[in-house]
Structure 1
Amino acid sequence: MLSSLSLLIGGRFSRAKQRNKMVSFISLSSTLGIAVGVAVIIIGLSAMNGFERELNNRVLSVISHGEFEGVRGPLTDWQSVISQLEKHPKIDAAAPFVKLTALAEKGTQLKALEVRGIDPSAESRVSSLSAFIDSQVWSMFQAGNQQVILGQGVADLLNVDKGDYLTLMIPTNGPTTKVQAPKRVRVKVAGLLTLNGQIDHNLALIPLADAQSYAKLGQGVTGVAVKVTDVLQATQIVREAGNTLNDYVYLRSWQQKFGFLYRDIQLVRTIMYLVMVLVIGVASFNIVSTLMMAVKDRAGEIAILRTMGASDGLVKRIFVWQGVFSGVLGSITGSVIGVIVALNLTPMISALEQLIGHPFLSGDIYFVDFLPSQVAWVDVVLVSSTAIGLSLMATWYPASRASRLNPAAVLSAK
């Protein structure tokens, strides 16, 4: 009964018009502060979730989780290497590749590229490259046709499109130490790889047999790429699998090249949680000022309640509820605003980029050229609960002061 009475009176105190305009202003400021803090943190965490999603879907699904390259030259018996690797319980699949460094030439435009020779059927088992390339192009991507699939960023730089021709200048390796003229190969752009990120700006794909011919590897390959079951344990899995091979190989995992991206995302997420506590905490402690002034403003009502038999606990709970109402209102408002903005963050930022004519994320620098966003309801609940919890903590001291008011002194002063 007392709990329901304190809730009723606390709600009326919150809704009632304050006699002191300053109290109303500070109360509104604290509620708005909590709402803005909650909204900003939800938007920031959603952006981090979006970057992590794109890292998984656009980068880790396309690049090799691990690579095994021959130390003493190309791997000639790569079929047996693949069969050995696939026996490892944490390796899903393996595929051969040939890696070249080449210079693409189109007119006066030049672009240094990583040219990767792949077997489409085997590559589909270890990566999702085909998901970002036209399905018809992928099915027709075969050796002997002088074909190349260019990253969208490379195609834009060279000003070429599907069906155009360009020249690949591939370094020539030989027994002599003299500088040799590069091998020039004229190839047709069969299609484009569109990942909207850094990989688009430095990658070209050619059929495996063509790459073996250009690099004069015979039936050998540069190495074998693998897909693992747990990407976060890729380095350890690659090391374990490498120890089972009979060939001497260099061991590489995605974490050596792109691991900093995952670490940066987790670091920023941790910082966001810290900022959440600080920002919402500062806003919540405005409730202390609000309630201290409210206690003074409502001293007469408190004295009357005390003379009617209200206990210290009842008076304390009344002002606790009043502070919680401000925290709940700010938390709910901020959560709604934050979720709405986070769900529409990508188109909003794209529209802003078009308005000012300048991209915030450049595809040749970052692994995506847009600002992704993904709302995680766990984050929304966590941020809202933190705001309400800090608001509750901020009410303790003012509520205690209210419960210690002397009704005789207050009423005699009236």
Structure 2
Amino acid sequence: MRLPFSLFVGLRYTRAKRRNHFISFISLISMIGIALGVMVLITVMSVMNGFERELRDRILGMAPHVLVQGLGTPIEDWQALEQKVKEHPEVIGASPYVQTESMFRFQGRERFGMVQGVLPNKIGEVSIVKDNMLTGSFDEIKPGEYNIILGASIARSLGLNLGDKVSLLILKETRVSMAGLSMRAKRFTVTGIFETRSEADKSLAFIHMDDAAQLLRQEGVTALQLKTNNVMNVYDINYQVSELLNHQYFVTDWTRQHETLFNAIDMEKKIMFILLTFIIAVAAFNIVTSLVMLVTEKQADIAILRTLGASPGSILRIFMTSGIINGLIGTLAGVILGVLLALNLPDIVNWVETAFGISVFPQDVYFVNFLPTELIVDDVIKIGLSAFAISILATLYPSWKASKTQPAEALRYE
């Protein structure tokens, strides 16, 4: 198959040995630089996607996607409300709860937190807590037995273990008298400890909903928490559920509390992409350098081609082809290396920790104690296209200068 003239000559220039080996060295450096930039950018974006996934799964695994509350009063017939909201196709789980602020007291130590009265057979529909039990079981919290499930951080700070008795002081029942402040207290038996590696471990405990209602002397439930199919589309679901309930309840969603966090993560990803793209841009300057030197070396060749009838546009395309090949090779190599590194990075980090006896992410320090990665195809495509586009831009000026070469001037000293 016959290649177009400009492409044929450009490929010959790319493969030919240089009289000046420094040009070949600069071309090699440009390809390596682009490959390294693309590889690092893919890896970093994959790690940030992994951390975002872990935060989303851990935080939103504990937080209700959508929350339905009464307008200033508890919800009495929550079963009917549950049936109504489940008519929405995006709602896949619902669980009622009774919630109050409280203080935990054990052997002179105290800790503030939130207590949720839940139904053990319903909480699994909306929360990951049942899948993250360190010890004990959620099935142990039964009405009238006053058992409690604690977050791991609360249990550690108070020195609590299974079977210990912890006093639960209800802040809502605080009374002021001449003797000072007094709060209603009830002793609970610790029958389980959960750890989700989220803020819930530090501030949340679970008891049976009937026990909570009795402690608070409350009829009905505080709210109905919902789980949805699409956690990132809760704004629309929120509005639709409110419409379904004829706006008779206050409906909110997780974005009211956690939107700032996820917006910050998204902004960090964008800033990181922009900053690391500069690495590729710096590598692309080497393409400019190598092409300028190649144009200088090929002045006589350009003059002869022009004399034989080659147009300035043909000369432009010849040198653009040479530079684009370097950029394409560097981009493809970077994409391949980046994908391989992103897919195997957790195993590499585990090997380093085992081989050198170190802990890169100590569990008692970091929220996520391993290096998560999530390779997204759209990110890989976006990074590859951006790198290739930068490479094309880098060829424009040297190729334009080559197309402006005057044959007589170039052959004057030949």
TM bucket, shorter chain: 0.7 to 0.9
Which residue does 1:180 correspond to in 2? 182
Instruction: Please list every run of 5 or more consecutive structure 2 residues that lacks an aligned counterpart in the other structure.
Output: none
**1: distance between equivalents of 2:7 and 2:135?**
63
SS at match of 1:181: strand
Which of 355, 358, 379 in structure 2 is aligned with 1:355?
A: 358
Which residue does 1:212 correspond to in 2? 213
Q: CA RMSD in A?
A: 3.5
Which residue does 1:344 correspond to in 2? 344
Query: Which amino acid in the other structure matches residue 358 of structure 2?
Result: L
Identity level (%) = 31
SS at match of 1:400: helix
Query: Which amino acid in the other structure matches residue 42 of structure 1?
Result: I
Which residue does 2:254 correspond to in 1? 254
Aligned-residue offset at 1:340: 2.7
**2: distance between equivalents of 1:240 and 1:313?**
59
TM (norm. structure 1) is 0.83
Aligned-residue offset at 1:237: 3.8
Query: How do 1:126-165 residues align onto structure 2 when only pairs under 5 Å count?
Result: 126-133=126-133, 137-161=137-161, 163-165=162-164
**2: distance between equivalents of 1:326 and 1:315?**
18
CA offset digits 1:6-58 (Å, max 9, x no partner)? 44543443344433354344333322332232122212321232234224433
Which of 191, 194, 198 in structure 2 is aligned with 1:189?
A: 191
Answer yes or no: is the 8 Å Cα contact 1:3–1:314 preserved in 2: no
CA offset digits 1:298-328 (Å, max 9, x no partner)? 2234344445555544433321121112111
Query: Which amino acid in the other structure matches residue 387 of structure 1?
Result: A
SS at match of 1:121: helix
Query: How do 1:19-38 residues align onto structure 2 when only pairs under 5 Å count?
Result: 19-38=19-38
SS at match of 1:380: helix
Aligned-residue offset at 1:255: 0.8
**1: distance between equivalents of 2:206 and 2:321?**
64
Answer yes or no: is the 8 Å Cα contact 1:197–1:369 preserved in 2: no
Which residue does 1:170 correspond to in 2? 169
- How many residues matched? 408
C-alpha change, 1:199 and 1:341, in structure 2 (3 Å) is farther
Answer yes or no: is the 8 Å Cα contact 2:63–2:254 preserved in 1: yes
C-alpha change, 1:329 and 1:411, in structure 2 (3 Å) is same
**2: distance between equivalents of 1:46 and 1:134?**
30
C-alpha change, 1:136 and 1:160, in structure 2 (3 Å) is closer
SS at match of 1:96: strand
CA offset digits 1:197-218 (Å, max 9, x no partner)? 333332222222232233333x
Query: How do 1:7-406 residues align onto structure 2 when only pairs under 5 Å count?
Result: 7-88=7-88, 90-107=90-107, 109-133=109-133, 137-161=137-161, 163-171=162-170, 173-174=172-173, 176-178=175-177, 179-190=181-192, 192-217=193-218, 219-235=219-235, 237-238=237-238, 241-242=241-242, 250-275=250-275, 277-306=277-306, 310-348=310-348, 355=358, 359=362, 362-363=365-366, 368-406=368-406
CA offset digits 1:313-360 (Å, max 9, x no partner)? 443332112111211122122223322332234455665797377659
C-alpha change, 1:406 and 1:229, in structure 2 (3 Å) is same
Query: Which amino acid in the other structure matches residue 53 of structure 1?
Result: R
Aligned-residue offset at 1:172: 5.2
Answer yes or no: is the 8 Å Cα contact 1:96–1:118 preserved in 2: yes
C-alpha change, 1:405 and 1:241, in structure 2 (3 Å) is closer
Instruction: Please list every run of 5 or more consecutive structure 1 residues that lacks an aligned counterpart in the other structure.
Output: none
**2: distance between equivalents of 1:235 and 1:168?**
39
C-alpha change, 1:174 and 1:274, in structure 2 (3 Å) is closer
Answer yes or no: is the 8 Å Cα contact 2:150–2:190 preserved in 1: no
Query: Which amino acid in the other structure matches residue 167 of structure 1?
Result: V
Aligned-residue offset at 1:391: 1.0
**2: distance between equivalents of 1:225 and 1:170?**
25
**2: distance between equivalents of 1:29 and 1:297?**
19
Query: Which amino acid in the other structure matches residue 147 of structure 1?
Result: N
Aligned-residue offset at 1:227: 2.4
**2: distance between equivalents of 1:166 and 1:260?**
38
**2: distance between equivalents of 1:215 and 1:377?**
51
**1: distance between equivalents of 2:393 and 2:51?**
34
| 180-189 vs 388-397, greater mean Cα deviation | 180-189
TM (norm. structure 2) is 0.83
**2: distance between equivalents of 1:26 and 1:392?**
17
**1: distance between equivalents of 2:124 and 2:95?**
9
Answer yes or no: is the 8 Å Cα contact 1:154–1:201 preserved in 2: yes
**2: distance between equivalents of 1:361 and 1:375?**
27
**2: distance between equivalents of 1:154 and 1:348?**
34
| 303-312 vs 251-260, greater mean Cα deviation | 303-312
| 376-385 vs 64-73, greater mean Cα deviation | 64-73
